[in-house]
Structure 1
Amino acid sequence: MLSGIETPEGCSAEQLAREDLPRLTALLESWYPDIRVGTESRHLEPSFYEREFFLRGESPDRSLYGILVRDRASGDIIGLLTMERNVRGLQLSAALGVLEPSRRGLGIGFLGTAALEIVGRNIGAEVVLYYSTLKTARAQRNAENQGFKLVGLVPAFDVDAIAPGKVKRVYEALYSKVLVESERIHLPEWEALTPSTRALYTHLFGPHPAQTASVPAPSERLHG
């Protein structure tokens, strides 16, 4: 699954293993206090990994997979990316991406979106999905620089700590990258779309073929 991943200088990437769980869960809480609320809080429970993850050397049929990032010199864990596959839908999505705070802004974060695509291709996924926080622009840029397309803003997507002692539902950005050729993708029928979905489709993807076909050629306009 990790074949083809290029890590930044001084870092390595490896599959999450059972022996990493106690240290990892302790680090996550210290790096990212906001993880205590919302969907991501499940990553603080060793039993979550034991029950749901394809850990190194164990249960490859499980749907969740974790990549640890380590400092090559010290061997310390400095980051985690978790991914979830949908076997029937041939999809792969990112569940959590986090770095040790002193390593943020050094260019390591792009590894998450790059790895999502590479692992997706290696396991035969046909589309990869990435939800990004809107707390900072860094995660959004990482996705955009890797060729992911912003396809929506999801209101009230999850619960997050927006300030000390204040928890609210928050927006997140949804990014997508298609890994198959366009000939395998069926476009929605234009007549089946409401005015609002037509407007959004055109904004995101440009004119629909049905729109182009309905515009007469210049010669037809002249002689019609």
Structure 2
Amino acid sequence: MHDRIWPELNELPKNTVTPPQYSYRQLARSDVERLTERVKAWHPDVSVGQGKVFSDPDYYLQNVSLAGEPDKHTIVYVGVHEGEMICAMCIEINPANRTLFNKFGVCAPEHRGTGATLFAGYAIDALANKLDIAMAWGYVTTKSRGMQQMMERAGFNPVGVVQFSDIELNQHDEPQHVTEAIYTKHYERASLLEPLLKSNLTPQMQALCKALGIAYTE
């Protein structure tokens, strides 16, 4: 018996947000090859940069908790519709600081906007509660509004913009740096944080905190 990190999906509260025609399961070893083929087809622009690992079967086999096998700090859930894999999400846990990192999400074009990916918000909330998580976060593309809207509907807020954070293929199939947003969601009260002191913040940091609605002590 190996030490568990991730609960089984049936141990989490009932999912009432994902449309019933979609089901989710933990990635299995037998799914890996098919998933990598679909990632390449659904998001060819991430065949370079950090995203390229999600088209590599070895990444999953070496780093991801696969169904029925020993747990690792990363897990992938795949969405299924009429027996076909149509989306996936990848989450990493950092037990030392009690955070979840939403590493990657993909969805078949024909299932975008259908509610299939509502599972992502449900899963992060349910896992955060089960695993005593303080904060979840992730990078979100600025190349389209869809992922930003999905994160905001799930209660995440943008807290920063990072230029040159990754490389993707542009419309001419040329590698180019991109700009991403950082989104976070908190599961603990701000009062439990160590106070921010104005004397420790530069004027630019003070302005940023005010813009984000983050209080600091005068």
TM-score normalised by L of structure 1: 0.87
Which of 44, 50, 66 pairs up with 2:76? Answer: 66
Distance 1:10 1:82 in 2: 21
Distance 1:207 1:98 in 2: 35
Distance 1:84 1:41 in 2: 17
Q: Does 1:33 align with 2:44?
A: yes
Q: Which runs of 5+ in 1 are unaligned?
A: 211-224
Q: Does 1:135 align with 2:143?
A: yes
Distance 2:177 2:56 in 1: 22
Q: Aligned residue for 1:13?
A: 24
Q: Aligned residue for 1:79?
A: 87
Q: Percent identity?
A: 27
Q: 1:182 to 1:206 in 2, by over 3 A?
A: closer
Q: Is the CA contact 1:130–1:175 (under 8 Å) kept in the aligned structure 2? A: yes
Give, as a single letter, the amino acid of the residue that structure 2 aligns with 1:48.
Y
Q: Aligned residue for 1:214?
A: none
Specify the SS of the correspondent of 2:184.
Answer: strand
Q: Is the CA contact 1:70–1:78 (under 8 Å) kept in the aligned structure 2? A: yes
Q: Aligned residue for 1:213?
A: none
Distance 1:155 1:69 in 2: 31
Q: Is the CA contact 2:45–2:173 (under 8 Å) kept in the aligned structure 1? A: no
Q: Aligned residue for 1:218?
A: none
Specify the SS of the correspondent of 1:163.
Answer: coil
| Count of residues in Structure 1 that have an aligned counterpart in Structure 2 | 207
Q: Is the CA contact 2:137–2:183 (under 8 Å) kept in the aligned structure 1? A: yes
Q: Is the CA contact 1:110–1:143 (under 8 Å) kept in the aligned structure 2? A: no
- Aligned ranges 1:187-202 → 2 under 5 Å: 187-202=195-210
Shift in Å at residue 168 of structure 1?
0.9
Superposition RMSD in Å: 1.4
Shift in Å at residue 34 of structure 1?
1.2
TM-score normalised by L of structure 2: 0.89
Give, as a single letter, the amino acid of the residue that structure 1 aligns with 2:109.
P
Shift in Å at residue 206 of structure 1?
5.0
Q: Aligned residue for 1:55?
A: 66
Give, as a single letter, the amino acid of the residue that structure 1 aligns with 2:176.
K
Specify the SS of the correspondent of 2:196.
Answer: coil
